[in-house]
Amino acid sequence: MDAILLQILNGLDKGSAYALIALGLTLIFGTLGVVNFAHGALFMIGAFCAVTLQKLLNLSFETLDETQKDFLGNPLKVETPYVEAWFGPEVGATIIDWSVPLAILFAIPIMLLVGYVMERGLIKHFYKRPHADQILVTFGLAIVLQEIVKYFFGANPIQTPPPDALSGSVDLGVMVGFDPNAIIYPIWRLVYFGFAVGIIGAVFSFLQFTTFGMVVRAGMADRETVGLLGINIDRRFTIMFGIAAAVAGLAGVMYGPLNPPNYHMGMDFLVLSFVVVVVGGMGSLPGAVLAGFLLGILESFASTTWATTTIPGINQIIIYLVAIVVLLTRPRGLMGRKGVMEE
Amino acid sequence: MLGLNKKDTSLLIIVALLTLLAPFILNPFPEGSAMAQFNAGYPDLMQRFVIFGIFAIGFNILFGLTGYLSFGHAAFLGVGSYSAVWMFKLLSYNVIPAIALSVVVAGLFSLLIGFVSLRRSGIYFSILTLAFAQMSFALAYSVLSNPKFNLTNGETGLQVYADDPQILQGANAPDLPHLFGLPMRATYTMDLGAWSFDFNAGYYLCAVILMVVFYLAIRIFRSPFGMMLRAVKSNQQRMNYTGLNSKPYTLAAFVISGMYAGLAGGLMAAMDPLAGAERMQWTASGEVVLMTILGGTGTLIGPVLGAGFIKYFENIFSKINDNVLHSWFAFLPDGLEDAVVFLIHPFIGKGWHLTLGILFMLVVIYLPGGLVEGGQRLLNWFKRKKTKSDDAPSGKTEPAE
Amino acid sequence: MTNKSVTRRGVLKSGAVAGTGLALPTIFTASSAAAYTNEPTGSSVVLGFNVPQTGPYAEEGNDELLAQQLAVEHLNGEGDGGCLNTFTSKALKGNGILGKKVGFVTGDTQTKSDAARASAKSMIEKDGAIMINGGSSSGVAVAVQGLCQEAGVIFMAGLTHANDTTGKDKKANGFRHFFNAYMSGAALAPVLAAEMGKERRAYHLTADYNWGWTQEESIVASTEALGWETVNTVKTPLASTDFSSYIAPVLNSGADVLVLNHYGGNMVNSLTNAIQFGLLDKVANGKDFKIVVPLYSELMAAGAGENIKGVLGSMNWNWQLQDEGTKAFVKSFGEKYGKPPSNSAQTCYAQVLLYADAVERAGTFNPCGVVEALEDFEFDGLGNGPTLYRGADHQCFKDVLVVRGNENPTNEYDTLEIVEITPRAQVEYDPEHPMFAGGELGECNPGA
C-alpha cells in the first residue's frame, strides 16, 4: 500500500513537468496552429534563468589569502559575493539560498519577452507554411538556443539547489498512520507538484474567467469569425504564445532543484511532451494535463521491481506503449477535437 | 529512354554522372592545401552521402507524395542493419544475401508498423510511428541484448566475432564484407599532380544501387500509383468519397519507403559491418525528415541534396579545430588572426551543431522549397544574366522533379 | 568562411598542422605499395584524436582534447616537456616521433558508435592518421577498436570502464590505459568493508546497458565475497532523467547501502535524487545509510555539487596524487589551461606519450611493431606508480584510487579526496577470468 502511494506521488511529480510543458505546447497548437519543436528549448531556457540568477547573485570579488594555497601552490583566491558585501553576510547568504524561488520573478518577464520575440520575429511568418516547414525552422531554432546555452554554461549539469528550508524530505507516512520511513518524500518535489497545480489552475481560470481568455477560446474555436467581429485575434494569440513560453520557462525554473539543468534537457523532454500532447488529444488543454499526469503515474508504476520482473523492459517502453494503445482505441487521443492536425 | 520523358531522362543522367564522378567532384582541392579540409571525397563520406540519399529518397516517396509524416523511419534502417550483420554472422561476408535480407526484413517490419499506424492520420500517425521506433530503439539498446538472448548486442553494436558460424564463408574469401571476393574496402587511389582521388569498391556498389532506386523512384512518381498517392495528399476525404479506399495505396507507399530504409541500413552494414542501436533513435528518424524538408519535399533530387548537406556538415565541420583556423588565417597580423579565429571558433568543431541549426533556419526562411528552390533560383538568375532579358521572374517556382 | 587568397597563403604556412596532407590516404588500398596503413612518408606524422565534442560528455571530450594537444606539444619539444622528464623510458627526445613532427586531427564521436566510427574512418581515410586516441564511452571504444583492428591502425581507448573492452571485445590493435569495472570492485570492496562493516545489505541501481551490467556484476561479486548481501538489482533506462521512482522504494527494501552503477548525467541525477529523498540522513538496520558510486569522474563530481560529500567511489587517477609523473603533468596542464586535468584527460595524455614511446622503441610506425613494443611493457613516471601493459589482453595495470566526496572542499577542484591508493597487485586478475573470457585478441593487423 505504502509502495503504491509512493509511486502515485512520484507519478504526480513527473506528471507535473509533463503537464506543464504539454500545456504550453497545446496552447500554441490550439491558438496558432504551429508545431513548436523549440518548446523543449523554452523549458531549458527557464531552467537556465535560475542558473543565471544564481550566478549573478554569486558574482564575487577576489581577495588573495596568503595562508591557503590553490592546486598549483599559488596563494588561494578567496571569493566573496557582492551580495554578501552589500547586505551583510547573513542577509546576502539568505538571498543566495533562495535564488531558485527568486528566479521565478526573474524568469517571468524574460520568458514573456523570449516568447514574444520568437512569435513576432519568426513563428509569425510560418502560420501559412506547411507543418513540415514549421518543424524544420523551430527545430533549427531549438538547436541554436541549445548551442548558445552550451557556449556560455558548458555541457556539464549545473546544480541549482533549493533553499535550505525546502530541501531534504518529510515523512508523510507517519502523518497518516504508516510506519516511520514508509513514505518519505522530498519537500521540493511536493513544492513542485503544488506549483504545477497552481500554474495549471491559473492558466485555466485565466482562459475561463477573463474576457481576454474568452476571446482567445473563441479564437481557438473559430478564428475567422472572431476576426470578422473586429477583434484583433493575432495580437491576443501573440500574448498567448508569450504565456505558453512563460509556463514552460517556469516549469524549467522550478525543475532545476529536482535534477540539475544541462543544455540538452529540453531535447530530452521534447519527444515526451509531444507524446503527452497527442495522447491528451490535439488542441485540448484538459487533455494535455490529464495525459501528463496519467503518463507520469504509469511511468512510475512501470519502474517498480514488480513491473520489470513481470515484463522485462516495460520501464523502457511504457510511455510509447500507452500512446499506441490510446491512439488505437481513441482516434483523437483522450480528449481531442475532430479535425485538428489530422491532415 | 527507359520509359522516362526527356526531362526525367536528363535528371537521371545528371544523377548518374554526379554519383559516378563523385570522387573527382568532391575532391576539388589539392592534397595538402589548407582547403583540403573541405574535401569530402574519401570513401566513408561518399558512401554515407549515397546511403543517406537512398534513405531520404525512400522517405520522400511516403512523405513527399502522400504527406504522411513518419517519425519512425530510422527503425527500418536499424532493422535493415541488424539483419545484414546477422547474415554476415550466420552465412558469410558476401554482401548480396545481407542486403537482400535487410530489404525483406525491413519490408515486413514496415508492413506491420504501417498497418497499425496508418489507421490514424496527421500528427496521430506521426506519434504512432515515433512510438514504435522509440520502442524498437529502447529494446534494442538494452533488453534484446541480454546475455540469454542477444539479438542486438546493445550499446556496443552488433558485430561479427571470430567464433560466429559463417557457414558459407569460403576459406579464401576476404575476412570483411565483399562482393564475390571484391572487398568493399578496396580503394584505388589515383594521384594526379597535387590531387588525389579515391575510387572505392563499396562506394561504387552503393552508387549503382542509388541509380537503380532513383530510377525506380522516378517511375513511382510518374506512375498512376504515384498519382493516387498525390491524391491522398491533396484531399484524402474527397478520394474516399469517390469510393476509393486509400489505405492500400498509403500502406504500399509506407512499405516501399520502409524497404528503401532497410536497403540503406543493409548498405551501411555492408560498408562497415557494425549495427548500433542509435541508428533507430528518434534523432535519427528526425534527421531523415530534416534531410527531406531541407532538400525539398516532394522533389526527386531534393532529399539527396538534403542528405548530402547534413552529412557534409556533420563530418567536415566537426573536424575543423582552432589549429586549422590558425593555419588558414596565419597571413593576418597576430592580433587580427586571433580575433578572426575567436569569431569563427563557436561555429566549427564542437560548434557544428550551431552552424547546422542556423543553416536550417536560413534555408527554411529564405528558400521555402528547400535547396532545390535555391538551385532553381540560381539557375534562373544565371539564365537571366545570360540572355540579359528583363523578363520578370516567374512568380512561383515550379517544383523541380 | 575562407576565400582564395587565404588558401594561397594557407598553403605556405600549412606546415604546422596540415602536414596532414603529406601522408597519402592509402588506407584500405588493395594495390598499395606501403608496408602498413598510412605509413608516414613525409617529415610529419598525424595522430587522430576522436573525442565527444557534442552531447552529454562534451566537457569530458574537451578536457581530453586539451590534454592531447599538450602531449603533442611535449612530443614536439615545445612547452616544459611535462611527463617526458619523469617517464622511465627515455626513448622520446622531444623532437617528434622518430624525428617526424607530430600533427593531429580532431573529430567528434557524439558518444554514438556510428558517428565515432565515421569520424575515425575520416581520420584514417582522409587525413592519414596513424593511430586513434580518446573517447568517452565503452560502446564507442569497442566500436572504434574494432574499426582500427580492421583498418590496421593502433587504437588507444580513452575513458572506457566496461570489462568487455579488454575482455570479450579485446583486439590486438587496441590498448586501454583506463582501469575497468572489475578493478573498481577489487579496489573498492576492502575499503567499503573497512568503513561500513562486513554486514551490509546493498541495493543496486544500474544503467541498463552493457557497461552498467559489467560494473554491477563486478561490484556484486567483490562485495559479496566480503560478506555483503545484495538485496536487489534494478535496471534503469539509459534515457531516464529522473530517478525518483527508482530511489523511492530503496528505504523500504531492507537495504542499508545504495550502489549507483550510473555514469555521467545519469549518475548526477540519481545521486541528486537520492540525496533529496534524504537517504544519507537515515538509519537502516541500525546502521547509517550509505551511498556508493563505483566510478567517479571530476566532471560528474562538479555536476553533482554538494551531493557527493562523503560518497565513496573509485577513480583511475587524480590530480592530487603526489608522485613525480602526476606533479609534472598537473603543473604543465594547470599552467597552460588554468585548471587541473581530469582523469580522462590524464589517460589520453599518457596514451599519446606511450604510443610515441613505443614507436621510438620499435623504430617503426608499423602497428605490429608498436604492439610488440607495448605488450608487457613496464614503466613508471606517468602517474599511478609502476605500470604494466599486459600482453595477454592489452589491459593496463596500475594502482587504483578509492576516493570520497570531499566534506570541506577549499576550492572548486578538490571536490574529491583520495581515501586509499589500492596497490596494483590487489586489482590484478587472470586474463581468463570469467568476467573477461570469451574474446580473442587475434593477430595484430598492419593493414595495407
- Distance from the A80 Cα atom to the nearest Cα atom in chain B, whole angstroms: 31
| Domain at B6-282, CATH class | mainly alpha
Domain ranges of chain B: 6-282
pLDDT tens per residue, range A91-140: 888 888 899 999 999 999 999 999 999 999 999 889 888 888 898 899 99
pLDDT tens per residue, range A246-284: 999 999 999 999 999 999 999 889 889 899 999 998 888
Do B42 and C125 lie within an 8 Å CB cutoff? yes
pLDDT in tens, chain C (448 residues): 333 333 333 333 333 333 333 333 444 444 445 788 899 988 999 999 999 998 888 899 999 999 999 999 999 999 899 999 999 999 998 999 999 999 999 999 998 888 999 999 999 999 999 999 998 889 999 999 999 999 999 999 999 999 999 998 999 999 999 999 999 999 999 999 999 999 999 999 999 888 999 999 999 999 999 999 999 999 998 888 899 999 999 988 889 999 999 998 899 999 999 999 999 988 888 899 999 999 999 989 999 988 999 999 999 999 999 999 999 999 999 999 999 999 999 999 999 999 999 999 999 999 999 999 999 999 999 988 999 999 999 999 999 999 999 998 887 888 999 999 999 999 999 999 999 988 889 899 998 6
In chain C, CATH 3.40.50.2300 covers 15-178+321-398, 182-315+402-427
Per-residue b or e along B354-388, where b marks 16 or more CB atoms closer than 10 Å to that residue's CB? bbbbbbbbebbbebebbbbbbbbeeeeeeeeeeee
Give the C-alpha separation, B259 to B73, whole Å: 10
Residues contacting C149, CB < 8 A, separation 6+: C155, C171, C172, C173, C174, C442, C445
Radius of gyration of chain A, Cα coordinates, nearest whole angstrom: 22
Residues contacting C299, CB < 8 A, separation 6+: A156, C59, C60, C63, C342
C237 phi and psi angles, rounded to 5 deg: -60, 145
Q: Which residue is closest to A180 within chain C, CA to CA?
A: C252
Residue closest to C243 by CA, chosen among A14, A3, B126: A14
* A321 has a chain B CB within 8 A of its CB: yes
- Distance from the C137 Cα atom to the nearest Cα atom in chain B, whole angstroms: 10
Left, alpha or beta for B276 (phi > 0: left; psi -120 to 50: alpha)?
beta
Do C278 and A303 lie within an 8 Å CB cutoff? no
- Distance from the A34 Cα atom to the nearest Cα atom in chain B, whole angstroms: 12
Q: Which residue is closest to A306 within chain C, CA to CA?
A: C234
Residues of chain B scoring pLDDT < 70: 1, 388-401
Give the C-alpha separation, C163 to C435, whole Å: 7
Residue closest to A250 by CA, chosen among A114, A157, A111: A111
Give the C-alpha separation, B112 to B258, whole Å: 11
State pTM to two decimals. 0.90
Helical pair A265-280 and A131-153, crossing angle rounded to 10 deg: 150
Q: How confident is the model at residue A341 (pLDDT cuts 50, 70, 90)?
A: low
C-alpha cell at B220: 513511382
Q: Tell me the chain C residues in contact with residue B26 when contact means C-beta distances shorter than 8 Å.
A: none
Contact of B135 with A320, CB cutoff 8 Å: yes
Residues 274-293 of A with CB under 8 A from B: 274-275, 278-279, 282
Residue that the C-alpha cell 528566479 belongs to: A103
Q: What is the ipTM metric for this complex?
A: 0.91
* A314 has a chain B CB within 8 A of its CB: no
Do C31 and B42 lie within an 8 Å CB cutoff? no
> Which of the other chains make 3 or more beta carbon contacts under 8 angstroms with chain C?
A, B
Residue closest to B282 by CA, chosen among B151, B153, B146, B138: B138
- Distance from the A265 Cα atom to the nearest Cα atom in chain C, whole angstroms: 8
Of C18, C53, C62, nearest to B34 by CB-CB distance is: C18
Of B33, B272, B329, nearest to C117 by CB-CB distance is: B272
Q: How do the residues of chain A divide into helix, strand and coil, expressed in percent and rounded to 5?
A: 70, 5, 25
Residue contacts between A and C (CB atoms, under 8 Å) = 127
Distances (CA, A) of A10 to A280, C86, C261: 20, 54, 22
- Distance from the C296 Cα atom to the nearest Cα atom in chain A, whole angstroms: 14
CATH topology of domain C15-178+321-398: Rossmann fold (3.40.50)
Residues contacting A211, CB < 8 A, separation 6+: none
Domain ranges of chain A: 2-60+100-329
Give the C-alpha separation, C193 to A170, whole Å: 31
Do C237 and A316 lie within an 8 Å CB cutoff? yes
- Distance from the C268 Cα atom to the nearest Cα atom in chain A, whole angstroms: 8
Q: Which residue is closest to C298 within chain A, CA to CA?
A: A156
Do C305 and A315 lie within an 8 Å CB cutoff? no
Do A6 and C268 lie within an 8 Å CB cutoff? no
The architecture CATH gives domain C182-315+402-427: 3-Layer(aba) Sandwich (3.40)
- Provide the pairing of β-strand C229-236 with C201-207: parallel
* A254 has a chain C CB within 8 A of its CB: no
pLDDT tens per residue, range A38-49: 999 999 999 999
